[in-house]
Amino acid sequence: MARSRYPGLSRALVGLVASALTVGGLLALGPATAHAEPPTAAGPQVGASQVPAHAVTGYWQNFDNGATKQTIADVQDEYDIIAVAFADATGTPGQVDFTLDPALNYSEDQFKKDIAAKHDAGKSVVVSVGGEKGAVSVGDDASADAFAKSIVALMDEYGFDGVDIDLENGLNATYMTKALDAIHAAKSDVVVTMAPQTVDMQSPQNGYFKTALNIKSYLTVVNMQYYNSGSMNGCDGKVYSAGTVDFLTALACVQIKGGLDPSQVGIGTPASSQAAGSGYVDPGVVNDALDCLAKGTSCGSFTPDEKWPGIRGAMTWSTAWDATAGNKWSSTVGPHVHGLP
């Protein structure tokens, strides 16, 4: 998987999905609820209510893997949500902590000041949990409680606006929902993002998809990783291959037909061919996919039977690889997302 300390390293490709996914008739739970109440003194500094209707998410690397080393201050202005990758597991099940990588030569005091400056610019900064190397497990009441308390503590300590769930070794919907509900109870305007792999969002019965639906009332966005993936079923039951506009649109359709609000669906692609083992598409293809979903234009062979102008936007791994590639991804996709209807 691309979110590794080693460039180009990916999980084994997921095999061809054998049977068509039937999504017709699934019950949608209604549009996501915006939380307009102001943050508390110890709460988020920006919050979900301030995330723009069309948002760009980028992952900031807390390690050196050959991409451009960045501080939070260096993150390109096009990014509305900055996901700090990653928080690490501790010796207590479910509990996470965060420590800056010494390889970045970045002081904790400056890191906090840079987060505050991003808040002043209207940006959200969340802490991401998981990644390819992540070993966080939330599988019972005790670990759910530990996870929630540690995330809230990190929000208080660093000023994070919320949490990104990027667990790649399975997810227990029952206990992750309990953990996220507890975080939301403590921080009502929490920004909650998710970055599942494609296979995790093929069916609403999957743990990741089920969790997203369980927290739909306050879920900010699911930025599925359309990379390091095998072929997958689209919402029309046809099989699509990664690296095409149809792969992006037909799989986004699965999530919307499966119950997510369009405003909770984002397209995640690598910032460059170096950033992932497979699945890179030119940023212009991301724009075409967004136009297809929002306006019914620029589609490939697959055209959705509805238009979803509320589609949230796009995500990339990572802001550092984007910088390495001359900011091509953010300078192409960013203005396009912000210009959506």
Active-site residue numbers? 168
Sign of the alpha-carbon dihedral angle for 239, 242, 247, 252: positive
Residue matched to tokens 């802001």: 319
Determine contact, residues 252/30, Cβ cutoff 8 Å: no
Residue matched to tokens 């979900």: 48
How would you classify the pairing of strands 221-225 and 232-233?
unpaired
Cα separation, 121 vs 158, in Å, equals: 17
Cα separation, 316 vs 267, in Å, equals: 8
Token pair of 132 as six digits: 């390819």
Beta bridge partners of 222: 194, 265
Torsions phi, psi of 96, nearest 5? -130, 160
Token pair of 101 as six digits: 């990588």
Sign of the alpha-carbon dihedral angle for 14, 267, 123, 31: negative
Cα separation, 143 vs 19, in Å, equals: 35
Collapsing DSSP to helix, strand or coil, 155 comes out as helix
